[in-house]
Structure 1
């Protein structure tokens, strides 16, 4: 893993879009996904395993969610992975973590909380083609069959129909990236996807820190956060867009008109 502390807006752009040139396509098409966090000391534990809270209740939580949420999704969800994505999207503790294909969406979540403006932030950048090299054979075969680099619910279900089946594929830790169905405009606008590991107790940062290639940890100093935030607002990367509806509008207005702390 490479850790780099950026100091300027232009250096940040170069770091976020580094290695985006795809020679085979002749286009700038990045293989990286991004996760922005407002405090550099925040880890990559999931809501399920943070402080060991819900690890033993993973199956119970999802079973209860599916039972009581019946009829709520507009489209029928066939696979357990699509149900897991729906649960994660609405705040249920799961083994998933939120990521985005958009570096600017990651920067939004880095700078959204003005109360943490005085703390250094971090953007994790992960090349999914590199992490895919460590996937077990059934998952690699499914990606080759579909000509894809990230999974859909159907693709994942074809190789592992349940979380228990995924955990039994190999004893070695791995991470896959899963693109959920377009459940609502929030997932679409945030260009969202999720990471999934093969165990409810596994920590993604522990896994990524051991990777020699395809992982960058960008430290964004507190002094740069306000410039980043102001330029994102001008680029219309705001709560109003990323959280469509009145709630997002209110979040944007509350932050936008808040005085800057001294």
Structure 2
């Protein structure tokens, strides 16, 4: 279906069902050609091998910004907020917010590109809260050197069993970082808890997450297969053609979905107001 308006999109969004259930969350991308991966795992970003240094450097340079964060997941959320590529993928529980992101202009080869909105259906086995042990295990992979990360996933691929996996030195490094935030954590990691993405409900701890009704997919590794069909994260999607983006954005603005409402920081509000009144032909001196 050609989505020409917000009402067209709402009809589609209301029709999305999987086994009688509505979507768990949504994601809007201004370019339909992007893969469904966090920035950290995208080949053009080239930061995965230096992940442990980037997460330390940003905390080292701006310690006050991270002083209230209790876990590595908390820090990753804040880093995502400041546009540092992480192993998190932003999603929202509000389909209109996803539509707003999908209608942002994007040019490639001098041509405006289509956007896309995903709807995700997440089984209960792949849902977690911010304080989950599995979230701690996956988040703290960010603290490992590339040598240790590579060794962890190489061992998992050999399927040597939980006991043998947990005797490895690189896994012990991961346990060290987990225990820094959870001293009670037992010295046993389920290796398959590290590889498949999970849906995480975060703390509503900053204005942007609240404004965007935000949540996240947390990734351990890219490319692992083998989950059971009942644990698959299924999805639907709709393409938003470039020629309709401007009109849809205008309709969303009239419904209160715009840059100022989604990015409550004062600089974002200022930019929104400048563009609004510069482009409003009804404004007169």
> TM-score over 0.5 for the alignment?
yes
Q: Cα–Cα, structure 1 residues 172 and 64, in superposed 2: closer, same or farther, change >3 Å?
A: closer
Asked if structure 2 preserves the Cα contact closer than 8 Å seen for 1:79 and 1:154, the reply is no
Cross-structure match for 1:71: 64
SS in 2 for 1:93: coil
Give the conservation status (yes or no) of the 8 Å contact 1:45–1:203.
no
1:49 is matched with which residue?
A: 41
Contact 2:92 2:212 in 1 (8 A): yes
Kindly indicate whether the alpha-carbon contact (under 8 Å) linking 1:79 and 1:157 is maintained by their aligned counterparts in 2: no
Q: Distance in 1 between matches of 2:17 and 2:46?
A: 38
* Structure 1 vs Structure 2 CA RMSD: 3.6
Confirm or deny that 1:88 pairs with 2:108: no
Measured against aligned partners, the alpha-carbon deviations of 1:140-174 in whole angstroms (never above 9, x if no partner) come to: xxxxxxxxx44214454566572269966229952
1:247, 1:158 → 2: CA distance?
33
In structure 2, runs of 5+ residues without a counterpart are 157-190, 281-285
What residue is the counterpart of 2:206 in the other structure? 184
Task: State the TM-score, normalized to the length of structure 2.
Answer: 0.66
Secondary structure (helix, strand or coil) at the match of 2:87 reads coil
Question: 1:226 and 2:246 equivalent?
Answer: yes
Within-5 A mapping of 1:6-17: 6=3, 9-17=6-14
TM-score, structure 1 as length reference = 0.71
Describe the SS at the equivalent of 1:42: coil
Correspondence for 2:268: 248
CA distance in 2, matches of 1:125, 1:114: 21
Q: Which has the larger radius of gyration?
A: 2
Aligned partners of 1:98, 1:72: CA distance in 2, in Å?
20
- SS of 1:182's equivalent in the other structure is coil
Name which of structure 1's ranges 31-40 and 156-165 shifts more when overlaid on structure 2: 156-165
Distance (whole Å) between structure 1 residues aligned to residue 12 and residue 265 of structure 2: 33
Post-superposition shift, 1:93?
Answer: 1.8
Alpha-carbon distance change, 226 to 41 in structure 1, aligned in 2, over 3 angstroms: same
Distance 1:239 1:192, change over 3 A: same
**For residue 185 of structure 2, what is the aligned residue in structure 1?**
none
**Inter-CA distance 158–53: structure 2 relative to 1 (3 Å threshold):** closer
CA change 1:244–1:215 in 2 (3 A) is same
Report if the CA contact (8 A) 2:3-2:239 is conserved. yes
2:197 counterpart (175, 187, 203)? 175
Q: State the 1:44 CA deviation.
A: 2.9
- SS of 2:118's equivalent? strand
**Ranges in structure 1 where 5+ consecutive residues have no aligned partner:** 24-28, 136-148
1:123 matches 2:117 = yes
Aligned counterpart, 1:236: 256
